A and B are shown apart, each in its own frame.
Chain A
Amino acid sequence: MNVFTAEHVSCVVPSPDGDRMIFSGLSFAIRTGEIVDLVGPSGSGKSSLLTAFALLNPHASGSFALEGRDSGDFTPQRWRREVAYLPQKPILPGETVADAIRLPYTLAVRADGDAPASGVPSSAAGTPTRRMGLVGRFARLFRDDDAKARDLLPEGRIRATLDAMGCDDIDLTRAPHDLSGGQAARVSLARTLLTGPKVLLADEVDAGLDDENADRVASIMADAATHGMAIVRIRHRPPDGRATRVVTLADGALSGSETGDAAAPNGARKLRRTRNA
């Protein structure tokens, strides 16, 4: 069964000389435990597609479903907890690496206290919650969410998870900006994996890494996939043999599916574009 489906996905970017269509009418589906590589030329809109999946792209539209439930049934926060976009640039705010990893657990969407998943996607259902009222927001401005996050995700827990991911070279008490590029990329990946999303959208997280670090990042993700996580990777490197299939985004169309099923990408649908990219 497909864990995630997307249909009629379009992206139109406004520009001074008229709106520019990046892609339109795209469909995509991914099953539990699959690793799909998304490739294509620069500027073809790969990142735009992944941010659209995570409902993060203000220029994109489409209908998305997670385990058959429409994205409209989720709050944006609940949706993004299950369909996690991992940006290319690792942003690690906080005093220490441990703080940076705890960031997701300082957020209200995880305040109900479900413990971090250890590689296995959590079974938490995306029940829509009320938006916080003004009073609630003011209260949060002064509350110490860090202490709560420390309870939810103690140091030992982070250490054990990082070690299991082959990140035993990373000192949790270090300042995040002292990390090397490869370490920062792995911490950023570990942070998202610890939140246990059902779908991971990894936007070229191995860019700028040497082969050894790229391989470590890839094997961490492959391990998460064996635990049932569905993973879409944007990659520019040569195939590493870990992907179950490769999908190409070029000229506004998605094509190529090596395993493919009926709901999988409907390939060479020619799409009109108002202007050249």
Chain B
Amino acid sequence: MSGNAYDIDVWGLVVALAMVAVAAGVSGLMRMGIGRTLLWSACRALLQLCAMGFVIGYVIRANNVFLVFAMIGVMLVAAVQITLSRAKGVPKGLAGPVLLSLTITMLLMITLVTELVVRPHPWYAPQLVVPLTGMLLGNTVSALAVGLSRFYESMDERRDEIDTMLALGATAWEAARPSIVSSIRLGLLPTMATLASCGIVTIPGMMAGQVIAGGDPLEAAKYQFVVFAAISALTLVADGLIMAMVYRTCFTADDQFRPRDMRGTR
């Protein structure tokens, strides 16, 4: 797969790393204290991306349906771990709901985008399915992490309001609804901002990649739109699913508010 119109050689990587090193050096001089982290992250990113490229290359060459789904499975598990480590103040035991909501949205993505819109041969075409899953997960992971953090934070802020609503006969769902709405909204904010600004301010990564690789810009734009549309719709689905699954952790079986210290917060 050397489809790139202009390949990057080893010296290109060295130049890129040197740029980071210079930036790190400057930040060290200015005592910003992020130079070491920046350099370390850049090295890690290089290794991770190369490893990913190598693995995807292998999966594409093998062109085996089981290998594709094994890879997606590994990505899902990693996504759950990253979501939970990024979400602050959430109770234990959310791995199941997060995995379920990511899996459902991932399956929807493959069904709708791959099989309905693109219709590749074979149907599991790795060079399509794997990057699409990766892009979807990247977006939903951050939306879920933000949404979950905001949900529990909001439930604790609204404690008096929730108690009042429950006392007036609200169900757990009714009492939680304002927090659910505000956290889903916050989780979707970056996605909607990207949708609004793309094409004017930014050339999204996927489209840029295709254009650099010598693809037709209009084709790239169509691809990009399909992917964006799917991602924003499915991010909403993922956020809605996770909220429906976890809001009850803030309540007891008798629809009483369960305060933070009774939830077993991590």
Contacts and interface: CB of A to CB of B under 8 A. Distances in A.
B169 A110 contact: yes
A42 B74 CA distance: 56
Contacts, number: 82
Contacts of B169: 77-78, 80-81, 104, 107, 109-110, 195
Q: Which of A54, A56, A138 has the most CB of B within 10 A?
A: A56
A108 B174 contact: yes
Interface in A22-67: 54-58
A103 interface: yes
Given A56-B167, A87-B167, A91-B160, A107 B174 contact: yes
Interface residues of A, number: 35
Contacts of B254: 55, 58, 76
Contact of A195 (B168, B181, B252): B168
B166 interface: yes
Contact of A107 (B170, B180, B181): B170
A91 B255 contact: no
A117 to B, nearest CB: 14
A222 B235 CA distance: 53
Given A58-B258, A137-B244, A103 B173 contact: no
Given A76-B255, A89-B160, A192 B166 contact: no
Contacts of B168: 80, 84, 103-104, 107, 191-192, 195
A103 B166 contact: no
Contacts of A191: 168
Given A137-B244, A141-B177, A58 B257 contact: yes
Interface in A233-249: none
Interface in A202-225: none
19 contacts: A55-B256, A56-B163, A58-B254, A58-B257, A58-B258, A80-B167, A84-B168, A87-B163, A89-B160, A103-B168, A104-B168, A106-B174, A107-B168, A108-B174, A109-B169, A110-B169, A132-B173, A138-B240, A195-B169
Given A58-B257, A58-B258, A195-B168, 11 more contacts: A56-B257, A58-B252, A58-B254, A58-B256, A76-B255, A77-B255, A87-B160, A107-B169, A107-B174, A134-B244, A192-B168
